């Protein structure tokens, strides 16, 4: 299958239930040329409240070199 520049239908949208007890997140991490690191997390709900309502958000952590 491999990676292509076209999104497949299965790649579009949520992959879990959005009800109580479910949380979906995606993350990207990077090591920059200068030695710093960056982590970006996209969430469907508050990280510590997977029983709560849908409240999409983003968390960003930067560790400088």
Assess if residue 5 is contained within a domain.
no
Helices (runs of H) and strands (runs of E) counted in the chain: 0, 3
Average pLDDT over residues 24-51: 93
pLDDT band at 29 (very low <50, low <70, confident <90, very high): very high
Retrieve residue 25's tokens.
């997140």
Q: How confident is the model at residue 15 (pLDDT cuts 50, 70, 90)?
A: confident
Quick check: is 46 in a domain?
yes
Domain that holds residue 33: 23-63
Whether residue 14 is contained in a domain is answered as no
Beta bridge partners of 55: none
Number of domains in the chain: 1
- Decide if 18 is inside a domain: no
- 31 found inside a domain: yes
């Amino acid at each position: 299958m491999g990676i292509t520049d076209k999104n497949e239908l299965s790649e579009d949208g949520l992959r879990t239930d959005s009800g109580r007890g479910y949380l979906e997140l995606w993350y990207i991490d990077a090591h920059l040329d200068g030695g710093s690191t960056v982590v970006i997390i996209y969430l469907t709900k508050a990280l510590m409240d997977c029983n709560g309502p849908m409240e999409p958000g983003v968390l960003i952590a930067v560790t400088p070199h």
